[in-house]
Structure 1
Amino acid sequence: MKGRITAEEEEEEQPLSPMARVFQSPGVDYCAVTIMGFKTKINPDVLLDALKHNVSKHPRFSTNLSENGAKWIETQVNVEDHVVVPYIDQEEVGEDGQGFVDEYISRLTMIPLDRSRPLWDMHILNVRTADAEAVGVIRSHHSLGDGMSLISLMLACTHKTSDPDNTAIPSLKRRTVSHGLRNKGWFLRSILTVGSTTRLIWNTVVDMLLLMATLTFLKDTKTPLKGGAEVGSNPKRFYHRIINLDDVKFIKNAMNMTINDVLLGITQASLSSYLNQQYGKKNEEEGGALTSYPNHLPSKLRFRVGCTVNLRSDIGFKPLEDMMVKDSKCRWGNYFSFIILPFSIGLQTDPLVYLKKSKSTMARKKHSYHAALVYFIIKIVLKVFGAKAAATLFNRPVMNITTCVSNVIGPMEEISFRGHPIAYIAPSSYGHSQALLVHYLSYAGKMIISLAVDPSIIPEPEKICDEMEESLKAMKAALWERGLH
């Protein structure tokens, strides 16, 4: 007869969270990649010492998976096994340092993490690129934590460049919306409350019906950006572009919207322009007639985007030790869900139309319990039918839409890793069944755009970033012309 589990055994073995179980399933084997550009060459010995004092002591980075993939088991970590410093012939690299880095990281996407030890590693590439003197690449299985968790861990291991004694924890508060009803009569408030509740219920029902349709039969139109089931096992390439965060904030303030709204508007505008170019090339290759109006987009494109939603009640960053506390309002792990946003792919003569559409779409989605319900349903399915069924519930809608977009707030000031100032942080992931992923991260007055693509479908991802920059310029110019600055 098996004895009772002791407190020590409970600490040594912890169950995976519902989303972590999903990410451990064969059909949803996602891996997060954090690419960091440094302003100086990286000293591997300094980095190893820092990891021994920080990352190796983190519960998720010092545990193995149990055989059935349901529990974390505490283990001893040999940090040297997780840090790779490849020999690099600088003459072979030549002037194309970024090309070498891109090819190296792409090869990593075809090398699985060693499941006999904690599921993370770091690669040091002392190669100069256009944006950095050296590049560090951290891979971690998505079951270890979501974007917010991983950025929190990075903050715990770094410090402000301007103030080495302090870590850089960005502050963030939920945006409060004033409805201007304080001085109205109770009757009017009651009517509006009933109306708001009715709309909330209606939006949630519609969203869940659309989700069920997407789960079963509703697929996006096949476009030059649409992947398929085989894409998940294909090698990925990563591309980043750095833009000015103040430009994004300028549009945000002028249009009275959120940064998320602005980024979605830019994404919608740039993908519309990119697709128009691709269809134009296809039309020309097929000998199609040239038209005076350069609109080559098919009519009635169904193009949808999965947008991640943080489910924590406290969305601000906290010290790592606070995130590890049980029942923390800003806890470590995979506490996110997603919503599905319809994109209006089309050419607009007024670039501000894209912003108005994104603001309207997000306002509608915020008034729905879609994200919370998806997470709750996945938990129930996991308990009743197991991880495979829950993974199917998560992955099928992702396969049937075109892309996913994520935005994470990063440090507001420049940070350093043991005397190594960081120039940029570009988060992404691979293992997904989409040909394009778009991640945004704000850092020290910059907004970093990070793309993960299947090069067999999107061979020139830099053109998408070009369109993003052009869309941002066009939106700024339109606002200045109308005096909305």
Structure 2
Amino acid sequence: MGSSDDNCAEQPLSPPGRLFLHPRWNLIIHCAIGFKNPIDIDAIKSRLKTSLLLSHPRFSSLVVRDSLGVEHWQKATHIDFDRHIIILHNPVSTASQSVDHDTAVNNYLADLSISSGLSTDKPLWELHLLMAHNCCVFRLHHALGDGASLMSLFLADCRRADDQEKFPTLAYGKKRDKKRVNSSSGKGWWVLLIGFLSMVWFNLVFVVELVMRSLWVCDRKTEISGGDGVELWPRKLATARFRLQDMKLVKKAVPNATINDVLFGVISSGLSRYLEHRTPNALPEGLQITGLAMVDLREQLGLQELSDMMKNNSPGLSWGNKFGMILLPIYYHKSNGHDPLVYLNRAKVMIDRRKQSLQAHFSYKTILSTMPYLGAKVTAWLNYKILCNTSFSISNIIGPEEEIIAAGNTVTYLRVNSTSLPHALTMHMVSYAGRVDMQILVAKDIIPDPAFLASCFEEALLDMKEAASRNATMSN
């Protein structure tokens, strides 16, 4: 599930892996796993030693550099679990005061987001056990793989809580895409021609847009803007919680809308609410605020297929980082009693146009081509500039549809965030068992109230749900 050069034990890192190891990035993924029951340390260690995770060569390899400074994977002779598993028995507290479990875990993750990186004298992962909060935190360097591949590998070691003989199931929406393709097959040639010309036009426009963002075009400064060096600023973390059923109800209000359309409509509405609260009457109506989204470019493997391939050490299994970046603009609008579903309509139109372009593939291929010829320093600088010239970043990872069991313990939540970027606002969403949790990581000197921002997103979805229910009642 990534670049094929990540399959053998001693090979150069893929270009995306080298990018994430560069000091300008040094990006680490944090996956927080909440448990229903107290953590059994022995069960965690025992399961980890026999897991598919450690069967993969990346998790038992070191990063070494050759005489030219090019990074390689080198098989470790021994894995000292005591260096990888960090156990914290005491509760996480703030200013000597106890806080609830969610806040304590978020505070811990916020501190990790600006902490020192993972030591390169051991494989690039750690497991932090927060015993008092029934939570474990995987720290995984992004050089090991992206969110989609790492989530698939983790879930291949889990089973459904309602049937421990079965793997969890993931919904990728392939049936919807197939339906759209079939529905277009009966259209006239002129409709197909217009569609083709639109695709060519949007490809040209969006690729040029990405190049300009990496050089000089930037958003106007607002109350959520970051910039060069902001990745070093102290962080806060809050969680916005959504019901997947509410999102499904809202998406029915707009023909052919998707869950991703709803999510981005919620973000657009929520950010407008937040900015209106922070700077009333200060921003012009329709101001563009550009987000940067990460898009998985691979075909998803089923978990049973993944498990079989891992156990058999199949040479066909690829891994690593295979995703592209797309620019997703939103526009500031005051509420003023507007129909909340307007945000969903705008999001759908914008995302549909982006889907017709190859912007994500272009960004991925650019990393592959610039790394060998221009080197890690230039590649890291170009991609860093895109972050500095946009206002926020967002990712969305599909999780299991059912509750799962890991190491004999029922999982209550899955949440993801990463180390800091030049953005003052990064959002990572993961779906799990009918819920969607969005981790909102902010530079606290720029956005001091992430919990209020989270409530803006939650209220935006509820308002859309109410409007969708009202429209459905009127149509009946």
**Fold conserved between structures, TM > 0.5:** yes
- Quick check: which has more Rg, 1 or 2? 1
Partner residue of 1:465?
A: 454
**Which aligned pairs between 1:50-61 and structure 2 lie closer than 5 A?**
50-54=47-51, 55-61=53-59
Tell me which of 116, 128, 141 is aligned to 1:123. 128
More off after superposition, 154-163 vs 234-243: 234-243
1:334 Cα offset (Å) = 0.6
Partner residue of 1:102?
A: 106
Tell me which of 81, 84, 88 is aligned to 1:82. 84
Same amino acid, percent of matched pairs: 31
Partner residue of 1:406?
A: 395
1:472 Cα offset (Å) = 0.8
- The secondary structure found in structure 2 opposite 1:427 is strand
Instruction: Give the aligned residue type for 2:50.
Output: H
**Which aligned pairs between 1:187-202 and structure 2 lie closer than 5 A?**
188-189=188-189, 191-202=190-201
Q: Deviations over 1:88-132 (max 9, x none)?
A: 16996645444433333333231321111111111111234xxxx
Partner residue of 2:295?
A: 309
Instruction: Give the aligned residue type for 2:238.
Output: Y
* Cα 1:373/1:40, change in 2 over 3 Å: same
- The alignment of Structure 1 onto Structure 2 pairs a total of residues equal to 451
Q: Hey, what's the Cα distance between the residues in 2 that align with 1:398 and 1:60?
A: 28
Instruction: Give the aligned residue type for 2:74.
Output: I
Partner residue of 2:135?
A: 135
Residues 8 and 57 in structure 2, CA contact (< 8 A), matched pair in contact too? no
Residues 171 and 316 in structure 1, CA contact (< 8 A), matched pair in contact too? no
Partner residue of 2:223?
A: 224
Tell me which of 447, 451, 465 is aligned to 1:476. 465
2:384 is equivalent to residue 395 of structure 1: yes
Instruction: Give the aligned residue type for 2:287.
Output: L
1:171 Cα offset (Å) = 4.3
- The secondary structure found in structure 2 opposite 1:337 is strand
1:53 Cα offset (Å) = 1.0
- Is there any run of 5+ residues in structure 1 with no aligned partner, and where? 1-9, 129-133, 281-294
1:322 Cα offset (Å) = 3.5
Residues 215 and 382 in structure 2, CA contact (< 8 A), matched pair in contact too? no
TM-score (norm 2): 0.89
Q: Hey, what's the Cα distance between the residues in 2 that align with 1:253 and 1:327?
A: 39
**Which aligned pairs between 1:370-381 and structure 2 lie closer than 5 A?**
370-381=359-370
* Cα 1:338/1:382, change in 2 over 3 Å: same
Instruction: Give the aligned residue type for 2:306.
Output: P
* Cα 1:183/1:82, change in 2 over 3 Å: closer
* Cα 1:319/1:97, change in 2 over 3 Å: same
1:360 Cα offset (Å) = 0.1
Instruction: Give the aligned residue type for 2:427.
Output: V
Partner residue of 1:71?
A: 72
Q: Hey, what's the Cα distance between the residues in 2 that align with 1:24 and 1:197?
A: 39
Residues 307 and 406 in structure 1, CA contact (< 8 A), matched pair in contact too? yes
Q: Hey, what's the Cα distance between the residues in 1 that align with 2:104 and 2:185?
A: 60
- Is there any run of 5+ residues in structure 2 with no aligned partner, and where? 1-6
2:322 is equivalent to residue 335 of structure 1: yes
Tell me which of 327, 333, 343 is aligned to 1:346. 333
Q: Hey, what's the Cα distance between the residues in 2 that align with 1:467 and 1:302?
A: 19
Q: Deviations over 1:401-456 (max 9, x none)?
A: 00111111101110111221111111111131111111111111111111111112
1:370 Cα offset (Å) = 1.1
TM-score (norm 1): 0.87
1:33 Cα offset (Å) = 0.7
Residues 13 and 74 in structure 1, CA contact (< 8 A), matched pair in contact too? yes
Partner residue of 1:113?
A: 118
Q: Hey, what's the Cα distance between the residues in 1 that align with 2:161 and 2:357?
A: 41
1:313 Cα offset (Å) = 3.4
* Cα 1:383/1:243, change in 2 over 3 Å: same
1:314 Cα offset (Å) = 4.0
